[in-house]
Amino acid sequence: MMQGLAKKRIAVVGLGLSGLATVRFLQSLGIKPVLMDSRAKPAAIEQIAADKVDGIYLGKLDANRLAKMDMIVLSPGLAPSHPAIRFAVGQGVELVGDVELFARFCQKPIIAITGSNGKSTVTKLVETMLQHSGINALAAGNIGLPVLDAISQKNIDVFVLELSSFQLDTTTSLTSVASCIVNISADHLDRYSNMAAYTQSKQQVYQQTKLAVYNLDDAATKPLQAEQTLGINLAETNYGITLLDNKAWLKVAGEALLPVAKMSLFGAHNQFNALVAAALALAAGANRQGLITALQQFTPLAHRCSLVLEHKGVRWVNDSKATNIGATLAAIAGLKPSIAGNLILIAGGDGKGADMTELQPVLQREVQQLITLGKDGPAIARLKANSIEVKSLVAAVEAAAKLAKSGDMVLLSPACASLDMFTSYADRGEQFTQAVKAVLL
């Protein structure tokens, strides 16, 4: 494989985290790639030694130069439909992503996870379950550590990959011991022509997998082809929730595993995530005690239904990672049973072309007060009578503080991306946390 690459003219297009990792990986093989980025000055361009690459070209992508390559390694942030990329592919240039290179070189077992929501939690849960089972697992991919940086780490037994639809679009050689689509809901419709195209992209996670785990409550996640399949929902008899002595327990592989109350995560959506993670981890060699320990000790990921503050009987919850409609619907469904009083929802941002009317039934049935902000805040506000529209997150917190009473929950779950007002969903979540503490304490 290495010898085959060494003879190719390779362009790395897009110099973000995964692109820079790709450059390092190719250089470790003695290859000098051509580098391109559509930005005039990518943030980490100074990290690249000019003498170890075959040219750096910034700004508008050069279609003619790309067409002279044998292979393009494309960043997931750039669409394969970009005219310059399409032109090069039309000239016979091979188009791959960093995950495809990883798949071609990786010699260790892989667990692959995708979905519109919950995939990061499932990925980290699987990693933790395997580690508590004595297996050296490493989470990588869309979760933060680029796969081509991960592959260089020593003594890894299993790679647990979180994969976005963008990464899967350029991946054809993935082989996994187990894979799953956690769920599919409207997202990235500014990049995909319709939901069918987005779903087709997600289905790529099942390529060459031994076990395909899917969501029985979401028909779009059902594998179109797989060696072995396992459907899961909370009512399922093999993997689901069972009652023992009037207490809810997680049931895994036909046996009760752990009382739900002993999990460190809360909400029905996280019970489902735990079941999926358990099935994937067992397929890679985890043991039941490892699952139990992980579920009791797992630290919830930041900005995902995390409790910011409980003040005068009101819980303030940060779910800034809910960057699409499905994530917000899952958060409301998961949290609502635990709310004694009213649910006050703060939502809005950049809806990425999604049809916000999908929120309306739940907003009208489950949410007592809606506060909106951001680019698509007005569109969401129109879905519920007496909504409050504000210009800033601080104003949203102030409005919620005036309304909230003991037993209520104030939930930031935007159903939108953050980039219209913030640098990232994490920035939005941190600003929410700061605002809550500044207003209340």
Q: Is the dihedral of CA 147, 151, 155, 161 positive or negative?
A: positive
Residue ranges of alpha helices (H) inside 165-246 are 165-168, 195-203
| Residue from 17, 60, 324 nearest 192 by CA | 324
Residue 231: phi, psi to the nearest 5?
-95, 140
For residues 289 and 296, give the distance between their C-alpha atoms in angstroms, rounded to a whole number: 11
The catalytic site residues sit at 119, 142, 188
User: What domains can be seen in the chain, in order of their start residue?
Assistant: 9-96 (3.40.50.720), 101-297 (3.40.1190.10), 306-440 (3.90.190.20)
pLDDT tier for residue 43 given thresholds of 50, 70 and 90: confident
The mean pLDDT of 142-146, rounded to a whole number, is: 91
Burial of residue 297 (number of CB atoms within 10 Å: 0-12, 13-18, 19+): exposed
Measured distance CA(138)–CA(320) in Å, rounded: 25
Q: Please, which residues bridge with residue 58 across strands?
A: 37
Q: What percent of the chain has pLDDT over 90?
A: 79
Per-residue DSSP letter, 227: S
Average pLDDT of the segment spanning 75-95: 94
Q: What pLDDT shows up at residue 117?
A: 81
Q: Which range in 2-6, 162-166, 298-302 is most confidently predicted, on average pLDDT?
A: 162-166
pLDDT given at position 2: 54
pLDDT digit string, tens, across residues 218-263: 999 999 887 899 999 999 989 999 999 999 999 999 999 999 999 9
* Structure confidence at residue 1 as a pLDDT band (50, 70, 90): low
Q: What is the DSSP letter of 52?
A: G
The reported pLDDT for the residue numbered 299 is: 86
Asked if residue 3 has pLDDT above 70, the reply is no
Give the mean model confidence (pLDDT) for residues 300-308: 84
Question: What is the arithmetic mean of pLDDT over 356-383?
Answer: 96
Give residue 397's pLDDT band: very low, low, confident or very high (50, 70, 90).
very high
Mean pLDDT, the chain, rounded, equals 93
Does the pLDDT at position 302 exceed 90?
A: no
% of the chain beyond a pLDDT of 70:
98
The reported pLDDT for the residue numbered 314 is 96
What's the whole-number mean pLDDT along residues 16-37? 93
Name 34's bridge partners: 11
> pLDDT at position 5, please?
86
- pLDDT-derived band at 194, boundaries 50, 70, 90: confident
Report whether pLDDT(189) > 80.
no
Question: What integer is the mean pLDDT of 156-175?
Answer: 96
C-alpha span between 258 and 402 (Å, rounded): 40
Interatomic CA distance for residues 299 and 285, integer angstroms: 22
Integer angstrom CA distances of residue 9 from 54, 56, 71, 244: 9, 14, 6, 62
**How much is the pTM?**
0.82
Residue 72 has pLDDT above 90, yes or no: yes
